[in-house]
Amino acid sequence: MKAIFHSSKQQALATLVAGLFLLAGCSSSSSRYDLADDVAPKTPISVDHIEGAQPKYEPYSLGGNKNYKLRGNSYQIIKDPAGFKERGQASWYGKKFHGHLTSNGEVYDMYSMSAAHKTLPLPSYVKVTNLDNGKETIVRVNDRGPFHEGRIIDLSYAAASKLDVIKTGTANVEIEVIIVERPNGEHTKNRHPEYAIQVAASPHKDRIETLSSELGQKLSVDTFLSPVKSNYRLMLGPFQDYKHTQDILEQVQKIGYSSAFVKKM
């Protein structure tokens, strides 16, 4: 969802902007694209005191984690990023996007240690090593991008400053995902597991019950009805594992329920 930096062709920029609105989490405000090129803040503050992101266990967000298409390319979200490493170029984004929504619905802060990646689940923690100077830091990935050939990660202004990428604009980097397991016993503290899939809703309870039984047997999952006013929602689950939830969601959509979606419980 990030613009290509230092472009001088207005037509290319216009094409890019049109495509950016296709991504979940993008802001609909045209002011987001008022600047022809992204820039650093006019009076940069020191980021020496800002530490790298502190990895911790976080459930994946509901926003920004669906497979998507952009400018003719299809992107598949990585379901199990354990052991993921990648080499390529890093770029950065700053004032142009400061204060706007990221792909998972958070607000972008150019002074936070964050980043954007095309396919890692959101949020993810990533160690970034600048191969040009040996500097490294940890960032929290909460956005999509960069959509420029050869570039694998967009760093926030703060993260790019830590790695000395601001002056050069880009740098050769290696990124490595940091996995933080769910703390022992956390799932017992919550009365309900985290995820469920809503398949359909209907005021006809008998029909929903029939569909519930059929899908439960077909997919080998638990089902339940959630009454809301005069409707009954057919839910699959509950599930504790995000990857398993996404696998079931794909199966549901393939058999004809394209509007099915994941809900946090």
The average pLDDT across 46-74 equals 86
Q: Would you state the pLDDT for residue 177?
A: 98
Among 6-10, 20-24, 49-53, 201-205, name the most confident range: 201-205
Q: Would you state the pLDDT for residue 31?
A: 37
Cβ–Cβ under 8 Å, residues 175 and 153: yes
Comparing 72-86, 182-196, 251-265, the range with the smallest average pLDDT is: 182-196
Give domain limits for the chain. 24-178, 186-264
Percent of the chain at pLDDT > 70 equals 78
Provide the β-strand partners of residue 136.
129
Q: Would you state the pLDDT for residue 39?
A: 55
Residue where the block lists tokens 């100077």? 133
Comparing 5-14, 94-103, 218-227, the range with the smallest average pLDDT is: 5-14
Please, what is the average pLDDT of the chain? 81
| pLDDT-based confidence at residue 46 (cuts at 50, 70, 90) | low
Report how far Cα 140 is from the mean position of its chain's Cα atoms.
10
CATH superfamily of the 186-264 domain: Sporulation related repeat (3.30.70.1070)
Q: Would you state the pLDDT for residue 9?
A: 37
Res 20 pLDDT > 60: no
Nearest alpha carbon to residue 219 among 202, 241, 230, 235:
235
Q: In what order do the strands lie in the sheet with 261-264?
A: 223-228, 231-239, 195-202, 261-264
Give 24-178's CATH code, choosing from 2.30.30.360, 3.40.250.10, 1.10.1240.10, 2.40.40.10. Answer: 2.40.40.10
pLDDT higher at 127 or 112: 127
The average pLDDT across 185-193 equals 50
Percent of the chain at pLDDT > 90 equals 47
Whether this prediction's pTM lies above 0.95 is answered by no
Report how far Cα 190 is from the mean position of its chain's Cα atoms.
25
Q: Would you state the pLDDT for residue 30?
A: 35
* Interval 136-149: pLDDT, tens: 999 999 999 999 88
Q: Would you state the pLDDT for residue 173?
A: 98
pLDDT higher at 177 or 46: 177
Res 35 pLDDT > 70: no
Asked if 24-178 and 186-264 have one fold, the answer is no
Q: How many angstroms separate the first and last alpha carbons of the chain?
A: 29
Please state the three-class secondary structure of the chain as a single string.
Answer: CCCCCCCCCHHHHHHHHHHHCCCCCCCCCHHHHCCCCCCCCCCCCCCCCCCCCCCCCCCCCCCCCCCEEECCEEECCCCCCCCCEEEEEEEEECCCCCCCECCCCCECCCCCCEEECCCCCCCEEEEEEECCCCCEEEEEEEECCCCCCCEEEEEEHHHHHHCCCCCCCCEEEEEEEECCCCCCCHHHHCCCCCEEEEEEEECCHHHHHHHHHHHHHHHCCCEEEEEECCEEEEEEEEECCHHHHHHHHHHHHHCCCCCCEEEEC
pLDDT higher at 45 or 197: 197
Cβ–Cβ under 8 Å, residues 93 and 105: no
Cβ–Cβ under 8 Å, residues 156 and 113: yes
Nearest alpha carbon to residue 157 among 174, 169, 149:
169
The average pLDDT across 168-184 equals 92
Comparing 29-43, 69-83, 93-107, 198-212, the range with the smallest average pLDDT is: 29-43
